[in-house]
Amino acid sequence: MASAYDKLVERFIQLSRLEHALTFLHWDQLVMMPPGGRKSRAEAIAALTTAHHQQLTDPAVEGLLDEAAGQSLSHEQNISRDEMFKTWQRAACLPDDLVSAKSLAASVCEHGWRAQRTNNDWAGFLTNFKEVVNLSRTEAHARQAAQPGRYATPYDALLDLFCTGESSEFISATFNELKEKLPPLLSEIVAARGDQTAKLAGFFPIDRQKKLSTKLMTILGFDFTGGRLDESNHPFSTGDRGDQRITTRYRTDEFIDALKATAHETGHAGYEKGLPQKWSSLPIGTACNICIHESQSLLFEKQIFLAKPFLSFFVPTIHSLLPETKRYSADDIWHGATRVAPGLIRIEADEVSYPLHVILRFEIERDLINGTIEAADIPALWDEKMQAYLGLRTENDYRNGCLQDIHWTDGSFGYFPAYTMGALNGVQLFTTLTRDQPHWQNHFATGELDFVFSWLHTHIWSRASSASSQQIMADSTGEQTNPTHFLEYVKQRYIDEKF
């Protein structure tokens, strides 16, 4: 007779089959589906999502989890059972009417936001947004109440959905060091670099850029027998084991952004491909959290692709496929690709100023969910923090200020910190990796990256969700996430220009 744990394994395998179907329905909707398919696709996705929720929250699952807790399990099985419990509780702790109400409010808010941002209409947006905030606060309190003592604040309960295992207290302390030391460093870099980082201009045919992206992905370890590259309005990575789908975006007036996006998404795909097959279809076998996921994508983009020796290796390929770039040397391209210029828009921000955009959003959403500020306070706070952190004004410019992101429209509070925690983790991992391999620049200069993939597989990919992100960081680098490494890296890259 199958044990409770074995029955849970079978249940989660079946759930993973539904997740697989939903993954590729979403991918097709964003990449291939004609507009006429929207209604039927929405209905199919809704039906599968409902079926998944019902199977996960089936009372039998709770009973099996309780029974399995009393079984004599191996250390690995106990961790697996704990991850199953977390997955179940996240879904089961919310009443159906709250889930439905938030889904509807988010849909209304996001739909309205698209025109409201274009029209700089904060007042119109605020009407719908207040409802999303209220329901997100209710959700946060419900999640906090479901696990007494686990979350110090309501915001922490939402943060845990994306930065699983992290606390707002730890992130606040980490970000406080960045917001103290990055602004003067940013000013120093801008003053030192002057006009030497002019934008790379020209006409670059998209068909040739596609070939260039494909070549870059191959060098970065992407296996085209188990994945593909396509185009979408916003680059992303998705898929399942054996079938990784990534997208990028091309423009004919520039080429470096598409390559950076390709490298970034290839990092996400590499992590997913490297997850342990033995835990396939189980929560323990999924990526640790978004902070670790972003560390992999940013490491591929910033620390590998944009490293001087690697880019110098790749520039002849760029020149070959895009002859117009021959007027740019490897040094020109590196300077263009690492341009530092503070601006209003987060997704256009450079590596140095980007964390300050994230810190601003983190502080506002934390206080918003915890109830110390209200939605109406956001524009003034946004302008105040933009002045303090980046020296820029957004007063009455809602379109380029607090209306620029989609995240808050659907209540994804707690997501933003993962971007910068991922950046810090990526640099810290790279610092350790290169210390272990002192001749790394020689390898990069010939496009030899197997040692990187091997190191990441051993220290990150093979761990999946078997340990917390901070445990993984401590085990692999000797300490938890420490912003000092990022600050030193910024000095070495952008002031000393070592790599």
Same domain membership, residue 69 and residue 202: no
Same domain membership, residue 92 and residue 165: no
**Does the pLDDT at position 195 exceed 80?**
no
Q: Is residue 11 part of a domain?
A: yes
User: What's the rounded mean pLDDT across residues 393-398?
Assistant: 98
Same domain membership, residue 166 and residue 89: no
β-partners of residue 237 are 246
Same domain membership, residue 66 and residue 38: yes
One-letter amino acid for residue 425 of the chain: N
Sequence-separated (6 or more) residues with CB below 8 Å from residue 300: 220, 263, 264, 266, 267, 270
Domain boundary among 133, 148, 163: 148
Burial status of residue 102 (CB atoms within 10 A of its CB: 0-12, 13-18, 19 or more): buried
Using 50, 70 and 90 to split pLDDT, how confident is the model at 426?
very high
Q: Are 344 and 329 in contact (CB under 8 A)?
A: no
Same domain membership, residue 372 and residue 260: yes
Supply the DSSP symbol for 251: B
CA distances from 193 to 398, 493, 494 (A): 30, 12, 8
**What's the pLDDT score for residue 199?**
76
**Does the pLDDT at position 11 exceed 70?**
yes
Task: Give the E-state strand segments of 252-331 in sequence order.
Answer: none
Helix and strand numbers, DSSP H then E, in the chain: 20, 3
pLDDT one-digit tens code per residue, 222-248: 999 999 999 999 999 999 999 999 999
Q: Is residue 334 part of a domain?
A: yes
Q: Are 133 and 375 in contact (CB under 8 A)?
A: yes
> CATH no. for residue 442?
1.10.1370.30
Same domain membership, residue 331 and residue 218: yes
DSSP 387-424: HHHHS---TT--TTTTTS-SGGGGT-TT-HHHHHHHHH
**What's the pLDDT score for residue 198?**
61
Q: Is residue 129 part of a domain?
A: yes
Domain boundary among 148, 163, 187: 148
pLDDT one-digit tens code per residue, 249-298: 999 999 999 999 999 999 999 999 999 999 999 999 999 999 999 999 99
> Would you state the structure tokens that stand for residue 164, as one six-digit string?
């699983």
Same domain membership, residue 55 and residue 140: yes
| pTM, to two decimals | 0.97
Place of tokens 């020689």: 442
Q: Are 137 and 370 in contact (CB under 8 A)?
A: no
* CA 434/CA 430 separation, integer angstroms: 6
DSSP 133-201: HHHHHHHHHHHHHHSTTT-SSHHHHHHTTTSTT--HHHHHHHHHHHHHHHHHHHHHHHHHHTTTTPPP-
User: What's the rounded mean pLDDT across residues 422-447?
Assistant: 98
User: What SS3 state is found at 464?
Assistant: coil
pLDDT one-digit tens code per residue, 284-317: 999 999 999 999 999 999 999 999 999 999 999 9
Same domain membership, residue 141 and residue 185: no
Q: Please name the helix (run of DSSP H) or strand (run of DSSP E) that holds residue 125, with its range, or none.
A: helix 122-146
Strand order in the sheet with 227-231: 227-231, 243-248, 237-240
Q: Is residue 472 part of a domain?
A: yes
Q: Is residue 18 part of a domain?
A: yes
In percent, the amount of the chain with pLDDT more than 70 equals: 99
Please name the residue ranges forming H helices in 322-395.
Answer: 330-337, 354-369, 378-390
Same domain membership, residue 213 and residue 327: yes
**Does the pLDDT at position 384 exceed 80?**
yes
Q: Is residue 320 part of a domain?
A: yes
Range of the domain at 178: 149-222+255-499
Same domain membership, residue 467 and residue 376: yes
Using 50, 70 and 90 to split pLDDT, how confident is the model at 84?
very high
Q: What size, in residues, is the chain?
A: 499
Mean pLDDT of the chain: 97
Give per-residue burial for 156-176: e unless 16+ CB within 10 Å, then b.
bbbbbbbbbbbbbeebeebbe
**Does the pLDDT at position 196 exceed 70?**
no
**What's the pLDDT score for residue 429?**
99
Domain boundary among 148, 180, 202: 148
User: What's the rounded mean pLDDT across residues 185-199?
Assistant: 83
**HEC profile of 78-104:** HHHHHHHHHHHHHHHCCCHHHHHHHHH
Q: Is residue 366 part of a domain?
A: yes
User: What's the rounded mean pLDDT across residues 101-111?
Assistant: 94
Using 50, 70 and 90 to split pLDDT, how confident is the model at 342?
very high
Instruction: Tell me the Ramachandran region of residue 497: left when phi exceeds 0, alpha when psi lies from -120 to 50, beta otherwise.
Output: left
Structural domain total, the chain: 2
Same domain membership, residue 262 and residue 214: yes
> Would you state the structure tokens that stand for residue 68, as one six-digit string?
């399995």
Q: Is residue 140 part of a domain?
A: yes
* CA 440/CA 431 separation, integer angstroms: 11
**What's the pLDDT score for residue 1?**
77
Same domain membership, residue 61 and residue 24: yes
